[in-house]
Amino acid sequence: MENLDLFVLRTLLDWRRAGKATLLATVMRTWGSSPRPVGSIMALCEGGAVVGSVSGGCIEDDLIHRYRDALQDGPPRKVKYGVSADEAHRFGLPCGGTLELLLEFNPDAATLDDLVARLSAGRMAQRSTEIATGRVVLTDIEQPEALREHEGWLHNAFGPEYRLLMIGAGQLTEYLATMALFSGFSVTVCDPREEYRGAWQVPGVTLSHEMPDDLVRGFRADRRTAIVALTHDPKLDDLALLEALETEAFYIGAIGSRRNQALRHARLIEHFDQTEEGLARLRGPIGIYIGSKTPAEIAVSVMAELLAVKNGVPLPRDLAVGEAKDRLEIDPNEPVACFVREAD
């Protein structure tokens, strides 16, 4: 599954190319609790087809009811939902929640095409809409920016897909890849060992046989990239992690026990002139502590931490695997469960 915004924009572009009347809704502002964050988008096509979301579903139903057979050209419109307690209940908003949307009618196909091309090429872009006229201007940007309304324009930033690169094609990787795919990540798995690649079963993943450090070097990891080493083999993991630390990847981590992580730090410091300060971004043991034992549970633990970092949510230290096990006085040599299916 690709990045949700890109999927919405690509679908909207296809509808416009086919000459269909459409509507693009953007969450401009929220007060109180809201099911979807500011900047969320959805698209509506004549006849009622919808992609994306601006609420838990009830507002989408209302937009379909109002516009499925009445889509026409015109300037954008601002609409509010949930102003009263009754409306909040009717539209499925939490108590006190209010939502303001900007509705754009029949967005220009050429501008949509340009935006989709930029995002597909891995670039970030800001889409600025003049609210009085519907005129749209695209601007390349270097980092994510919050949606803002300024002097009659609505500025909404869009980025390319988040990417997850995993070293090692074992069973844990399969579970983690599956979760990453339905979370909107583009997933690449690197394993030079043919016996592991031959057993791979998750579709939609790019599978590489390169040496991991070579792949990381050419991967052009940015602030929308996560890199996770899962082989337990220092020959494969360590060099890839060193390359990863030279990038802007938002998450860099490795599977393994607390003792294995300490040994990795010692190796990298002794043999590769690293420092503890330089290794501060290297996470491990990765995941949050949920008492996980099976590959599926460990994948849930790792994905939860990865998504928290992606979303800028600080996790309490006692949720980290290492701190939790220290607090519970669990043997530091206890291995992290990691099961590998034998090749067929």
Locate 213 and state its tokens: 């450090």
Name the one residue in this structure whose structure tokens are 């230290």.
317
Q: Would the pLDDT of 135 be above 80?
A: yes
Instruction: Summarize pLDDT for 248-274 with one digit per residue, the tens.
Output: 999 999 998 889 999 999 999 999 999
Instruction: Summarize pLDDT for 275-317 with one digit per residue, the tens.
Output: 999 999 999 899 998 888 899 999 999 999 999 999 889 888 7
Return the amino acid letter for 262.
Answer: A
Q: Where are the domains of the chain?
A: 4-158, 162-327
- Burial of residue 70, with CB atoms counted within 10 A of its CB: 0-12 exposed, 13-18 middle, 19 or more buried: exposed
pTM summary value: 0.71
Q: Would the pLDDT of 340 be above 70?
A: no
Q: CA 37, 124, 132: angle at the middle one, nearest 5?
A: 65
**What's the whole-number average pLDDT of the chain?**
88
Name the one residue in this structure whose structure tokens are 């754009």.
104
User: What percent of the chain has a predicted confidence (pLDDT) above 90?
Assistant: 62
Domain 162-327: CATH superfamily is NAD(P)-binding Rossmann-like Domain (3.40.50.720)
Q: CA-CA distance, 210 to 16, in Å (whole number)?
A: 41
Locate 297 and state its tokens: 């549970």
Closest alpha carbon to 254 in 307, 311, 183, 306: 306
